Structure 1
């Protein structure tokens, strides 16, 4: 390209104001466009939330696909539409038929209503678009995340050698825990450098021990790390759905007899179905006895650390080598937001790599904080800001009160179901999950009818938009589940849902009798 052509091209770019309206810039016009677009999105969301009384509209997948196709026949239209029109159509075809997680009767999964303060912070996070991998992409954001990590360190570990990093959630955090456990064990036991040499032949004998009710990401992590699902040995739980220490010791002993190599124990502080918390102090003692890594998956239960009433349930967690905690559960943050905590920050060295264009070694020598050395992600969102903003707005007392309320609600719900002869409850809630099933006297000896009817009740409530509740299996039987994360849900809401479930069950019973 010659000098004349270059000058012409430069002039064309300078004179082309068409692009400005698509980006927030340092001029009044582009910022007006930005403010109008954000306001339109807010208006669309507000209109849907205030006009939709149910947690779901009940539309089928086919109906949603058809509506989307009519509204947006082309993914990339030849000419762009106005932002108002696009937001309006998205509202009508997508947001209106999404699960309304803020609804008081959305009670199925570990899927929380997000705090207003966190949603406000999301505007700043997305607009500033910081990338948390290097200091020169996330200056003040790095300072905020490090401040939040220190708070988490003090909350969970009370140990200055601990450190951590924000993650996308429990899946990534559990993977990091097992990755560091694997590489630390191989380095300590065999003087093996996995980063340089890959896995040694002994890796096929390495074993992970976890509760039979542990999250599926333990198995997923095992095969992603090249150990295979066969590396995971599930341990039976007791009547409270907590890992049995006696069974764990039996399986560890048996593994050693078979010349297998235990290297990690995964404790769960809040199982997905029951919210059960494994005996952390006892597991720490076993891990110490066998000289293996202890990782605590507290994705669900980590928020109990904020509660004076319930934090004792996590006693022993500070002995863990690593911890998973999620904030898009009981900390009420928008997805995604989690953290991985490490008792000894030196173990982050097993992840560390340097790239001249991103985090050169001289940066480290000069004390420049490039957070990519603590993460398996490179580009990473500034999610720490929304948790920081929420803690500042609510304060510890309000957070603790919300957690305590949902646990109290679960206990009262369990009592209601227990007193009703039409239901069976199979555990006492440890956090705020309640597992139960419709179980009328006249059908208790008919497992097929019970399974079909409980699945029917859940589907009918969902299709009618009356409630979103979860379904699970326990010993081949279908059970239903309330996950009571929303501190605005009342016992009256629960009573109405229970009555609707009984009506649906009786209706199906009458239909079958005819």
Structure 2
């Protein structure tokens, strides 16, 4: 593990996929453990564990050591979480982990249930599938049968929502993206209008997927307000209420700060971060209005892959996915109260998720996670402040609450704030904003090619940060504070590297 700490964020690992495909190298005669080691270790050492504090590219960070202990324990037992006959107390641990996470994000609920899946896309798919089954109970058996349906997400939502729309048979053309405001939060007036139009056309809406922490700007939707809109509109048109699912894969861990005592302010958080925590509390409490949620513990829980969880507020919602005993004769002992094979997409499911979660939650603790999340918010605030002092830079997600900073860097002499205001007020021609966008990307590439990998953070670039005024996708530099070791010195060096461009 000490060697992992020496890998810089900019070290390029050589890859040769053609050689890998042409030399599969299966030994003909039995080997030994040394042969097993030699077969994989070149690839192991050629894989970055993202331990460097200079990694700021995306919503990915290093896995914590408590999670490592849990994951090793899981691998030694190798449980299959389909039924407790195959996993015994590991199935019990999954229920314990799901309940702990449900109480955190729903702020206590009496009857939750859920499962760990292979990733956020699959967890979101569970939410969408329940919504379809609520609208059309025979869909699992007979398909959609031509019933007109449409799903709703925001323009800042993860692209995987198109995946689930396609794989569930809804069709990507029937997934409607609602534009956001400048804080990458779903525009509620446009949501209201879209639902009204769909219902007027007699189109059912099986699900609305809200976002709690978009991948780039970390936009958060007003879940409580969305709940009111979908219930009011459904009542008005005598239509079934859509499943309100929340994609909190990236943002769920902000809920650790729900119980932070702002008055005592034990961690001496800055005024700016205290203000963010107060706003976060309001939005995170809205999760109680959701029917189901996705959270990825392998993101800002700093756990091991795969540790994505799908959780329903009320376990009765899982009845829409139930199989009959006739369909699973080899699981004749299965009981719907504790055997997920009765409703899961997968039959074989690894136990890494619950082992990683419970080891981490108890090894780090509530206060430990509060410290980690608060630190990321402090560093985010610091970088935003320093960028705002540069006339040729513009922070694009000032109104967002989370560990991401999306921003512009223009050539010195440009007034980035003025250019941005002209863009969102439709005062720039396509030729003008295209030229500015090109300058922003060229400067990013220039910095990327000239940084010192020993001291300069590795940032990333997005072609669309989630807010699209007049339908224009806004590109941006991006820095994400997911690594707890990323500190003030890293931020200062980012500013220095920008000033030297």
TM-score (norm 2): 0.82
**1:274 is paired with a residue of what secondary structure?**
coil
Distance in 2 (alpha carbons) for counterparts of 1:384 and 1:106:
27
Distance in 2 (alpha carbons) for counterparts of 1:323 and 1:75:
43
* Aligned counterpart, 1:340: 310
Change (3 A) 1:110 1:50: closer
**2:150 is paired with a residue of what secondary structure?**
strand
> Among residues 480, 488, 494, which one is paired with 1:491 in the alignment?
488
Change (3 A) 1:79 1:381: same
Change (3 A) 1:471 1:293: same
1:326 deviation in Å?
1.1
1:259 deviation in Å?
3.3
Change (3 A) 1:196 1:73: closer
Change (3 A) 1:460 1:262: farther
**2:60 is paired with a residue of what secondary structure?**
coil
Distance in 2 (alpha carbons) for counterparts of 1:370 and 1:467:
46
* Aligned counterpart, 2:11: 57
CA RMSD of aligned residues (A): 2.6
* More helix per residue: 1
* Aligned counterpart, 2:169: 226
1:181 deviation in Å?
0.5
Whether 1:275 and 2:218 are equivalent positions in the alignment is yes
Whether 1:377 and 2:346 are equivalent positions in the alignment is yes
For the 8 Å contact 2:9–2:458, the answer to whether it is kept is: yes
Change (3 A) 1:59 1:181: same
Distance in 2 (alpha carbons) for counterparts of 1:450 and 1:153:
41
1:318 deviation in Å?
1.0
* Aligned counterpart, 1:302: 252
Count of paired positions: 443
Q: What are the superposed Cα offsets for residues 125-147 of structure 1, whole Å, 9 maximum, x if unpaired?
A: 11110000011110010111111
Whether 1:359 and 2:331 are equivalent positions in the alignment is yes
For the 8 Å contact 1:164–1:341, the answer to whether it is kept is: yes
Change (3 A) 1:73 1:416: same
Whether 1:473 and 2:463 are equivalent positions in the alignment is yes
Distance in 2 (alpha carbons) for counterparts of 1:217 and 1:369:
29
1:164 deviation in Å?
1.4
Whether 1:197 and 2:197 are equivalent positions in the alignment is no
* Aligned counterpart, 1:181: 131
For the 8 Å contact 1:214–1:271, the answer to whether it is kept is: yes
* Aligned counterpart, 1:77: 27
**2:136 is paired with a residue of what secondary structure?**
helix
Higher relative contact order (CA 8 A, sep 6+): 2
Q: What are the superposed Cα offsets for residues 106-162 of structure 1, whole Å, 9 maximum, x if unpaired?
A: 111111211101112111111110000011110010111111222233333333232
> Among residues 159, 163, 166, which one is paired with 2:109 in the alignment?
159
1:90 deviation in Å?
4.1
For the 8 Å contact 2:5–2:52, the answer to whether it is kept is: no
1:263 deviation in Å?
2.8
For the 8 Å contact 1:236–1:244, the answer to whether it is kept is: yes
1:262 deviation in Å?
2.5
Query: Mean Cα displacement is larger for which, 411-420 or 491-500?
Result: 491-500
1:450 deviation in Å?
2.8
How do residues 348-427 of structure 1 correspond to structure 2 at under 5 angstroms?
348-353=318-323, 354=325, 355-360=327-332, 363-364=334-335, 369-382=338-351, 383-427=353-397
* Aligned counterpart, 1:252: 195
Distance in 2 (alpha carbons) for counterparts of 1:86 and 1:461:
38
* Aligned counterpart, 1:147: 96
Distance in 2 (alpha carbons) for counterparts of 1:463 and 1:50:
14
1:333 deviation in Å?
0.3
1:65 deviation in Å?
6.7
> Among residues 430, 439, 442, which one is paired with 2:401 in the alignment?
430
Distance in 1 (alpha carbons) for counterparts of 2:4 and 2:126:
37
Whether 1:455 and 2:445 are equivalent positions in the alignment is yes
* Aligned counterpart, 2:43: 94
* Aligned counterpart, 1:32: none
Query: Mean Cα displacement is larger for which, 451-460 or 120-129?
Result: 451-460
1:97 deviation in Å?
3.1
> Structure 2: which 5+ residue stretches go unaligned?
235-240, 261-276, 416-431, 465-471
1:198 deviation in Å?
1.7
For the 8 Å contact 1:455–1:471, the answer to whether it is kept is: no
**2:3 is paired with a residue of what secondary structure?**
helix
Q: What are the superposed Cα offsets for residues 139-197 of structure 1, whole Å, 9 maximum, x if unpaired?
A: 0101111112222333333332322112222111100000001111223xxxxx12222
**1:500 is paired with a residue of what secondary structure?**
helix
For the 8 Å contact 2:291–2:313, the answer to whether it is kept is: yes
> Among residues 254, 278, 296, which one is paired with 1:326 in the alignment?
296
How do residues 434-449 of structure 1 correspond to structure 2 at under 5 angstroms?
434-442=405-413, 446-447=435-436, 448-449=438-439
Whether 1:106 and 2:78 are equivalent positions in the alignment is no
Distance in 2 (alpha carbons) for counterparts of 1:340 and 1:112:
21
